[in-house]
Amino acid sequence: MTSLALRQDGPGTVTVPGPRRRLVGLVAALLVLLVVLVLSVMIGSTAISPSVVWDALFHPSPDIDQFAIRDYRVPRTIVGLVVGVALGLSGALIQALTRNPLADAGILGVHAGASFAVTVAVGVLGVSDIRGYMWFAFAGALIVTLMVLALGSTRQGQSPVVMVLAGVCIGAVLGGVREALQLTNPDAFDAMRSWNAGSVVGRPLDLVWPILPFLAVALVLAFAVSGPLNALALGDELAVAQGVRLVPTRVLSVIALTLLAGGATAIAGPIVFVGLMVPHVARWIAGPHQRWIFAHSILLAPSLLLASDILGRVVMRPREIPVGVVTAFVGAPVLIALVRRKTASGL
């Protein structure tokens, strides 16, 4: 999602949920996630009985259906969990950083950088396996976001507005070059279809483990800047008055969200709607406190992603719909309903 619509504070009154509601919300989100995790292992494009699923997990044997559970559904579920956590938290971070409720990591050029790098890897360098081009995606996302950070740095420090503009501009340029490369190399376009749509199918776990340390660092950074981001929501001057150091806060936030979104995009491709929508739901439940928003987003985003993936497995059996497509279908109406209903989704 690449929107420039920056939020203007309105005169509306926002009811801030109390600690009890936040805690209940968090526990409920955790329960929902656990249920979705179980369903993700239970439900697939092939009907496999719950007893076989149980045996596959706790009494493993070389049964063909058990292999299907252990080799495909479990890794797919873990991938969805990791990608969902990363997307949800990155979305909450970018919205807090830019004070833009319609922002996701895409506006800083993460998706554009990743997609461009993958196109070069596939179309120019002949990398055909996701194990190879995943790292190009990660590097592309990081490099482009660092460029955006540099371009967004003025003498007065980092400006979210300039960063967003720089991200959109670089994204547009890279998007154009990427399109040109794909038009002149249809095979590259073919090879990237699945990645472009956003999918968690066929991503082996050994592809995910190397990304996890980056995500862990980003997780720590995100919670470290959550307090300063609360103050930033009041405006730069008030934040500075409260002792917030603007530059480190923004730089660390950008690094964290880039690692998160870059890692998720590298694994699953550009899934745009999760990071946009989930923080709204999180704010509705948890109120304006970033730490709580982050915590809720971390639990809600993988639930949305995995629920969408489950839906994608069954609605057109035997073929599957990529999760990126389903999240857009599921997420758009939900987001519209939420935005129309609650002022609490504002920042």
Which positions lie near other proteins, rule CB under 8 A?
A: 44-46, 62-65, 67-68, 70-73, 128, 130, 183-184, 186-187, 190-191, 193-194, 199, 201-203, 313, 318-320
Min dist. Cβ of residue 18 to other proteins (A): 45
266 alpha-carbon distance from chain centroid: 11
Q: Which CB atom, from 62 or from 243, has the smaller least distance to other proteins? A: 62
Q: Which CB atom, from 22 or from 313, has the smaller least distance to other proteins? A: 313
Min dist. Cβ of residue 153 to other proteins (A): 38
Q: Which CB atom, from 85 or from 134, has the smaller least distance to other proteins? A: 134
- Distance from C-alpha of 218 to C-alpha of 91, rounded to nearest angstrom: 13
Q: Which CB atom, from 176 or from 186, has the smaller least distance to other proteins? A: 186
Query: Nearest CA to 328 among 282, 279, 274, 278?
Result: 274
Min dist. Cβ of residue 185 to other proteins (A): 9
Positive/negative CA dihedral, 75, 80, 85, 87: positive
Min dist. Cβ of residue 130 to other proteins (A): 5
- Distance from C-alpha of 259 to C-alpha of 90, rounded to nearest angstrom: 9
Q: Which CB atom, from 245 or from 317, has the smaller least distance to other proteins? A: 317
> What residue has token string 């409260």?
242
Q: Which CB atom, from 296 or from 313, has the smaller least distance to other proteins? A: 313
Residues 6 or more apart whose CB falls under 8 angstroms from that of 233 comprise 96, 99, 288, 290, 347
Positive/negative CA dihedral, 109, 113, 114, 115: positive
Min dist. Cβ of residue 158 to other proteins (A): 37
DSSP 276-330: HHHHHHHHHHHTT-HHHHHHHHHHHHHHHHHHHHHHHHHTTTTS---HHHHHHHH
Measured at the CA of 328, the angle between CA 327 and CA 329, to 5 degrees, comes to 90
Min dist. Cβ of residue 320 to other proteins (A): 6
Q: Which CB atom, from 189 or from 273, has the smaller least distance to other proteins? A: 189
- Residue 117 corresponds to which tokens in the numbers above? 């790098």
Min dist. Cβ of residue 197 to other proteins (A): 9
Q: CB of 110 within 8 A of CB of 141?
A: yes
